[in-house]
Amino acid sequence: MELSEKVYRIVRQIPEGRVLTYGDVARMTGIRSPRVVGIFLHRNPDPAKTPCHRVVNHIGKVSSGYAFGGAEVQKKKLIDEGVPFVKDRVNLRVSLWIR
């Protein structure tokens, strides 16, 4: 299985209202750099099936380069799912998905 498909498979499992960080996804898939996860998610061929908006950086910030509408769209999707923010960051204490 390709690494990108491993990333997409993990991201598809993130429940609504929860998030993972790029680093979490990297560790789960054996990828050394969280940036590689970001590259794969930027190229996500099916955002309806693979909810890449549920992946944030290590401090809970959304991506300024979110490929499917920008940071404000990503933030709105998360808020619509019930993900709480503190200032401009996801509250990882509440929303981090622990498998």
Q: Is 54 noted as a catalytic residue in this protein? A: no
Provide the token pair at 75. 């933030």
- DSSP annotation string for 19-56: BEEHHHHHHHHT-S-HHHHHHHHHT-S-TTTS-GGGEE
- Of residues 19, 37, 52, 78, which has the active-site annotation? 52
pLDDT tens for residues 15-43?
Answer: 999 999 999 999 999 999 999 999 999 99
What CATH class does 3-95 carry? mainly alpha
The sign of the CA dihedral 30, 34, 38, 39 is negative
Residue 12 has pLDDT above 90, yes or no: yes
